[in-house]
Structure 1
């Protein structure tokens, strides 16, 4: 896949951090802030950025673990998991939300985006962050893949005024079925919130670098996301 991508710097209140920018072939399009899993802006997340750029979006993926070290990239082996959990636990979630705010300011300011709408799209840790980004009123739409912890932040549900799409795997051992049920029940009366549960899919089903990759669920979720973004942006 031919891509037009580069790392750019973004100013935060307490320093500078990198973000991976991937541009569509046409050079312009609606914006997506892409929010990483707990493994950093690794090859998989950059591939996802390039994929959505190929779909016509201007994608910016901030390095949210920069305070612990610039551009940390982890794999999915035991050592990678151990370090990833440590990094997630060391991350100040309020500061991560401010980093997303700073990233969105830069994204909206790009000539490639212009006056177009922007969305947040996150996986795992980034899925939870995408939900909060919607609640913070920073985007025109939000997508959350297997966002762990959303069930613990349902007090923010009334703050969500934009369309939100959530994807969950039916076999996810990190997000129990009753958590998904509580999320679905909370948003039952909100027609702007769409929830999909994929049969046979585990946590991380979208990532083809992981043992839990589920090709059909990944394809369905990507299709559902493209339709949703096409309608909302």
Structure 2
């Protein structure tokens, strides 16, 4: 079962969020942070998938600060709009919106994990390293192809973290991956041969890499069950 809800951040901003509910009691709760395309069909399908696996999932619409209801496709015109919105994003306000979702999630009385994709992957890392300032204390965080993570690699995560990268990612150099690996050997980092950026994006044939997406999801699911069950 899924629905849209309203959240309010600590600065008074109201935003929407997509909620996917499991059948029966939840194993744990996931805050799912979008790519730079909004809480679109792909992100909702990811949320629905984890709900089927037994998690309560909430995905805050972080673009609502600029334009409510933004849902972009992976086509040239929408790509241009996505990068326009991306240029407006600031970690401080994004974390406020994620914290609003986290506060909602905490009412379920379960352990909470954060998972994000692309910009959301970077945000998930920042929740792990900066979350306490925003009253977020996740039990674990997962980041898929977290662009820009190299610049914040030396920040210290407060919980277990798993990161997934494509070996052929043209947006994220291997130097960024190695920066995290060097600073934090305890972080579980996986690099997938043959995969590029956004390899989990199954509705985008230009990005999707079937084998890598399947293996990364299996690893993520095991990680989440280990830390949230």
Q: TM-score range by the shorter chain?
A: over 0.9
* Cα distance in 1 for residues equivalent to 2:69 and 2:86: 14
1:87-111 per-position Cα deviation (integer Å, ceiling 9, x unaligned) = 01112220111111111001111xx
Matches within 5 A, 1:129-208: 129-135=123-129, 136-137=131-132, 138=136, 139-156=138-155, 158=156, 160-188=157-185, 190=186, 193-208=187-202
Shift of 1:27: 4.3
Which stretches in structure 1 are left out of the alignment for 5+ residues? Answer: none
The 3-state SS of whatever aligns with 1:75 is coil
TM-score normalised to structure 2 length: 0.94
How big is the shift at 1:29?
A: 3.0
Q: List per-residue Cα deviations over 1:46-90 (Å, max 9, x = no partner).
A: 000000000000000000000111120001111111111110111
Q: Give how far 1:167 is off.
A: 0.2
Equivalent residue number for residue 12 of structure 2: 14
Q: Which runs of 5+ in 2 are unaligned?
A: none
> Does structure 1 retain, via aligned residues, the 8 Å contact 2:150–2:175?
no
Q: Which residue of 2 aligns with 1:221?
A: 216
Q: Corresponding residue for 1:85?
A: 83
Q: Does 1:125 align with 2:116?
A: no
Equivalent of 1:41 in 18, 33, 39? 39
TM-score normalised by L of structure 1: 0.92
Aligned residues: 221
